[in-house]
Structure 1
Amino acid sequence: MSDKHPILPAAAPAATEFGFHLQARDGAARTGEIRMPRGIIRTPAFMPVGTAATVKGMYPDQVRALGADVVLGNTYHLMLRPGAERIAGLGGLHRFMNWPHPILTDSGGFQVMSLANLRKLTEEGVAFRSHIDGSKHMLSPERSVEIQNLLGSDIVMQLDECVSLPCEDAVAEKAMRLSLRWAQRCKDAFGHHPGRALFGIVQGGAVPHLRVESARELAAMDLKGYAVGGLAVGEPQEIMLAMIETVEPHLPVEKPRYLMGVGTPDDIVEAVRRGIDMFDCVMPTRAGRHGQIFTRFGRMNLKNAKHADDPRPVDEGSSCPAANGWSRAYLHHLVKAEEMLGKMLLTWINLAYYQELMAGLRAAISEGRLEDFVAQTKEGWARGDIPAAP
């Protein structure tokens, strides 16, 4: 991971095209831009999760001001409420949620497997009952693509079967092969949209040869991008990283790589070192709603009584107003009182830190100093918070 490979920026494409342009490498890590009609996604990129057409606790302009170039929407939740056809009738998801920038939508498959009631998986797709009202639905590869098209997604994900880890090799293989067949059906259903993209999803559990086969078969489909799915589902970090290292050599260099549902700041840093370009996770928003924050000093729990009389901000060196504008004592009070403002401010702090981390990674890769940046970042986490004055 020590070789430096500077790459000259390519000329910007026509506004109607989707393209990925590498700008620099540092070892396996890459920095670049995904360009499409609604804007540029700077990579490595973290996508805040807007499950139900909202990043919980945040205004869209706040999310954008933090440095987010793209947000994630959830096909499963949006198809159930308010409905894809309704959103399409109201002008599409971008207008509906007042986010004119790129949106990636997941396929809904993971949520069907984890949330839906009485689900039945067949070659055709997944029949299930809504966890909201018990209504019956069928999510096939074609329907998943149709829903994402109705939403107006810029990056569409294939429908796949995601298994929990650990699992038997035979279970992982069956899900991987079904996901490959569904990928082809998604590609056929998606058709040709120059300004938008369909991404495939590599599956195969924790079995290296299955992961390699999945990556090679998907690469042969010549999709616009590739995700690594079925990780961060309970397995240790070392297994996740081993699977990334197994898959990475078999993914096209010129296509973006997306690690789905990941993760902690350390997970992201280590995955970037191994060549991943895109991430999403509910962790920063969910943790913020439960009193937890991520900072350059590591993770903090604002519920702890030690913060009750601390007049210092979370991080006076942060550019985030929530991190430098209110005392820890006040944030602790809001958390303990379960005030809505506390959830909002802590979410703001977390998303700001994640975007600051991504900006730091991009700069370090561009300047050929990634390993130094990683070492300094991890040293800060390990050192922990600066003690209050006696």
Structure 2
Amino acid sequence: MTDGRMADGRVTDAGHFRLDGTSGRARAGVLDLPRGTIHTPCFMPVGTLGTVKSLTPGELRAAGVEILLGNAYHLYLRPGTRVLKELGGLHRFMGWDGPILTDSGGFQVFSLARINEIDDEGVTFRSHLDGSLHRLTPELSMDIQAVIGSDIRMAFDECPPGEASREAVRTAVERSLAWLERCRDSHEAHLDAHPDGGGLLFPIVQGASFEDLRLESIERTLAAGEWPGIGIGGLSVGEAKDATHRVLDVIEPALPSDRPRYLMGVGYPDDVVEAVRRGVDMFDCVAPTRNGRNGTAFTAEGRLNIKGARFAADPAPLDATCDCACCAGYSRAYLRHLFVSNELLGLRLLSLHNVRFLIRLTSLARAAILRGDYGRWADAWLATYRRGPAAP
């Protein structure tokens, strides 16, 4: 397959993924799922608790979103699997009829480390809501995701922090591989019981910034099964960006070319562009909505804090290159007024804009890949983005 040309259309048995073209290591593909088609590169907004904060499913669809992310850990605690099961799963519960990917809860083991204890069988943790004691295992993670009814389900893994020692990272790799076997067995049991209701199981490779451990994790993961996609975990968790780029450069040739590659928890615009350059297909992050709620917008000229006094009388749109409802209908001056007045509309509009910005960004990246000039496009885009917004 040469740069920008059509691929051979080969698909994996489980995921129906094909590559439409490449440009260097950057890839443009299509993942067909029963609830919808996903064009890659793609960004998945995070709906941790069954909602992308402040945005409706209709607004997300209008923004071009093709797949959302939910979280097994948080949904297990609230509203709980009993409610989700009684009400027909997460799609029906939240009113979203497109694909959903669920994180297994493994990242929460890392991010909420102060309230949990990890051993080879699973994780004992106290709820961050009420302090109640719970036990999360690979089997329970798969059970939760089955009740949620997600279309892509992530294996339960251990995600070490970026500064973890080699010994700790080695333990996390071994534990994640052992848990993967248990996740696979549990997932297959759910498929046997409900053959029409099963999602795809993606493993997660670990290894932090240790290149040899990363490559070993990939080799042993691929030896354990014919997976429909691969999650790359344990990056963007505190390590320097150049370390992330180095690891992606090293592992890309070892990853199957005929399956989607999902870099977990990455979603700042420049990070997405750099990761696509290194062969990544799928992304998720809370960054667009979290930044939007705090008054920071992603623009083609970099991040912009709309609360700045210099925007008080600025009649320009947030981003003249953007086609979202926020940029089409409102000025920077009005948006600043909403934020300094603590009006909820402001955070909704910036959240919507930031989500649409990332959806457009991945669409632009896909177009550049199909043209065969991704490297040139990415260099030009990053130069403008990193220059920062001009003064009004």
Residue type of the partner of 2:314? D
**Quick check: 1:65 aligned with 2:69?**
no
Deviates more, 1:188-197 or 1:117-126: 188-197
Match of 1:83 in 2: 80
Match of 2:98 in 1: 101
Extract unaligned runs of 5+ from structure 1.
Answer: none
**Quick check: 1:152 aligned with 2:155?**
no
Residue type of the partner of 2:163? P
Match of 1:196 in 2: 199
**Quick check: 1:24 aligned with 2:18?**
no
In the alignment, the residues of structure 1 paired with residue 113 and residue 79 of structure 2 have an alpha-carbon distance, to the nearest angstrom, of 17
1:387 Cα deviation after fit: 3.9
Deviates more, 1:189-198 or 1:233-242: 189-198
Q: Percent identity at matched positions?
A: 46
Deviates more, 1:302-311 or 1:192-201: 192-201
Match of 2:360 in 1: 356
**8 Å contact kept, 1:26–1:365:** yes
1:318 Cα deviation after fit: 1.8
Q: Select 1:378's aligned residue among 375, 379, 382.
A: 382
Extract unaligned runs of 5+ from structure 2.
Answer: none
Match of 1:173 in 2: 170
**Quick check: 1:39 aligned with 2:36?**
yes
1:267-306 per-residue CA deviation (whole Å, 9 max, x = no partner) reads: 1101101100000000011000001000111110011110
In the alignment, the residues of structure 1 paired with residue 107 and residue 386 of structure 2 have an alpha-carbon distance, to the nearest angstrom, of 34
- Taking CA–CA contacts closer than 8 Å with sequence separation of 6 or more, which of the two structures ends up with the larger relative contact order? 2
Residue type of the partner of 2:266? V
**Quick check: 1:296 aligned with 2:300?**
yes
What SS does the aligned partner of 2:207 have?
A: coil
Match of 2:284 in 1: 280
1:210 Cα deviation after fit: 0.4
In the alignment, the residues of structure 2 paired with residue 379 and residue 250 of structure 1 have an alpha-carbon distance, to the nearest angstrom, of 30
In the alignment, the residues of structure 2 paired with residue 266 and residue 97 of structure 1 have an alpha-carbon distance, to the nearest angstrom, of 31
Residue type of the partner of 1:278? M
In the alignment, the residues of structure 1 paired with residue 96 and residue 282 of structure 2 have an alpha-carbon distance, to the nearest angstrom, of 19
In the alignment, the residues of structure 2 paired with residue 112 and residue 166 of structure 1 have an alpha-carbon distance, to the nearest angstrom, of 16
Match of 2:232 in 1: 228
Residues 227 and 325 of structure 1: is their aligned pair in 2 closer, same or farther, counting only changes over 3 Å? Answer: same
1:9 Cα deviation after fit: 6.5
1:16-40 per-residue CA deviation (whole Å, 9 max, x = no partner) reads: x631111101111111111111111
1:353 Cα deviation after fit: 0.7
Q: Select 2:53's aligned residue among 43, 52, 56.
A: 56
1:316 Cα deviation after fit: 3.3
Match of 1:318 in 2: 322
**8 Å contact kept, 2:149–2:199:** no
1:81-118 per-residue CA deviation (whole Å, 9 max, x = no partner) reads: 00022112101100111111000000012113323663
In the alignment, the residues of structure 1 paired with residue 89 and residue 386 of structure 2 have an alpha-carbon distance, to the nearest angstrom, of 45
What SS does the aligned partner of 2:115 have?
A: strand
What SS does the aligned partner of 2:381 have?
A: helix
Q: Select 2:262's aligned residue among 243, 258, 264.
A: 258
In the alignment, the residues of structure 1 paired with residue 99 and residue 107 of structure 2 have an alpha-carbon distance, to the nearest angstrom, of 22
**Quick check: 1:209 aligned with 2:208?**
no
1:330 Cα deviation after fit: 1.0
Deviates more, 1:305-314 or 1:268-277: 305-314
**Quick check: 1:244 aligned with 2:248?**
yes
**8 Å contact kept, 1:180–1:218:** yes
**8 Å contact kept, 1:51–1:73:** yes
**8 Å contact kept, 1:116–1:131:** no
Q: Select 1:161's aligned residue among 149, 154, 158.
A: 158
**8 Å contact kept, 1:117–1:128:** no
Task: State TM-score, norm by structure 1.
Answer: 0.95
1:386 Cα deviation after fit: 4.3
Q: Select 1:331's aligned residue among 330, 335, 339.
A: 335
What SS does the aligned partner of 2:231 have?
A: strand
Task: State TM-score, norm by structure 2.
Answer: 0.94
1:121 Cα deviation after fit: 0.9
In the alignment, the residues of structure 1 paired with residue 272 and residue 296 of structure 2 have an alpha-carbon distance, to the nearest angstrom, of 18
**8 Å contact kept, 2:43–2:267:** no
**Quick check: 1:185 aligned with 2:174?**
no
Match of 2:5 in 1: 6
Match of 1:307 in 2: 311
In the alignment, the residues of structure 1 paired with residue 347 and residue 127 of structure 2 have an alpha-carbon distance, to the nearest angstrom, of 28
Residues 383 and 127 of structure 1: is their aligned pair in 2 closer, same or farther, counting only changes over 3 Å? Answer: closer
In the alignment, the residues of structure 2 paired with residue 339 and residue 151 of structure 1 have an alpha-carbon distance, to the nearest angstrom, of 34
**8 Å contact kept, 2:261–2:280:** yes
1:111-165 per-residue CA deviation (whole Å, 9 max, x = no partner) reads: 1332366312111100111000111111100100010000001000001111111
**8 Å contact kept, 1:13–1:35:** no
Deviates more, 1:64-73 or 1:242-251: 242-251
What SS does the aligned partner of 1:31 have?
A: strand
Residue type of the partner of 2:206? Q
In the alignment, the residues of structure 1 paired with residue 368 and residue 206 of structure 2 have an alpha-carbon distance, to the nearest angstrom, of 30
In the alignment, the residues of structure 2 paired with residue 242 and residue 371 of structure 1 have an alpha-carbon distance, to the nearest angstrom, of 17
**8 Å contact kept, 1:117–1:134:** no
In the alignment, the residues of structure 2 paired with residue 285 and residue 111 of structure 1 have an alpha-carbon distance, to the nearest angstrom, of 19
In the alignment, the residues of structure 2 paired with residue 382 and residue 119 of structure 1 have an alpha-carbon distance, to the nearest angstrom, of 39
In the alignment, the residues of structure 1 paired with residue 169 and residue 390 of structure 2 have an alpha-carbon distance, to the nearest angstrom, of 45
